[in-house]
Amino acid sequence: MITNSLVLVGEVLKAPKFSTSPAGIEHCQFTIDHKSVQQEAGMSRQAFVRIQVVATSELSLLTRELMSGSNIKVTGFINRHESRNGNPLLVLHAQQIEMIN
């Protein structure tokens, strides 16, 4: 089995957008910003990540509580999507979302 797992803590940028697929699956999309200081080669390094998150119907109740400025912990896997103009994007597919106070 090949592992693809990511845990990221961040702040929700804008209220989530909701949609329903042709198969009737509810999707929620939002973007989070992650900022931290990481250690690399004995040095402190600023880390900044802005990534789109996609959550499906099983997480819909929690995602309805999200708003701009919410701090959350997202656990899931990353996958490649294409933007409307064909550019590749990395997207975090949420399998678990936790609110952080």
66-88 pLDDT, tens digit per residue, is 889 999 999 999 999 888 898 99
When divided into structural domains, the chain yields a total of 1
Q: What is the pLDDT of residues 33-71, one digit of tens each?
A: 999 999 999 999 999 999 999 998 777 667 888 889 999
Specify the pLDDT at position 101: 80
What does pTM read for this prediction? 0.88
Say which CATH number the domain at 96 has: 2.40.50.140
**Is 42 part of any domain?**
yes
1, part of any domain: no
39 falls within a domain: yes
Q: Are strands 88-100 and 43-56 parallel, antiparallel or unpaired?
A: parallel
What is the per-residue pLDDT for 60? 66
Do the Cβ atoms of 6 and 53 come closer than 8 Å?
no
